[in-house]
Amino acid sequence: MEDYKKTISELIRKHMVVLGPNIALAVARKIPALKLADNGDALEIAGDPKAALAAVADAYITFAGEISVMLLGSVTGEYHGH
């Protein structure tokens, strides 16, 4: 669970830098299973954390497209094996 929280937090923080904090947080906050801090940290995940990560990734890719795929690649690369 903690690994997923870290991965989701990292993904959100990277999007906050690239897209801007307001937009990046607004997109992630649409995931009901997630409770987020203003700095992008994933505080709580309700239910399946894997599904929550997939939902965040989907939301970003739907919104920003290719750039989010790049960011997702860099984050999943960093947390490869978890």
Q: 49 vs 60, which CB is nearer to another protein?
A: 60
What phi and psi values does residue 45 have, to the nearest 5 degrees? Answer: -125, 120
Q: Does the protein bind another protein through residue 79 (CB under 8 A)?
A: no
Which token pair is 1?
A: 């669970």
Q: Of the listed pieces 3-11, 33-41, 43-51, 63-71, which binds another protein according to CB under 8 A?
A: 63-71
Query: Is-contact 23 35, C-beta < 8 A?
Result: no
Q: Does the protein bind another protein through residue 36 (CB under 8 A)?
A: no
From the list 9, 26, 37, 7, the residue with the least C-alpha distance to 64 is: 26
List of residues contacting another protein (CB under 8 A): 14, 17-20, 22-23, 26-27, 63-67, 70-71, 74
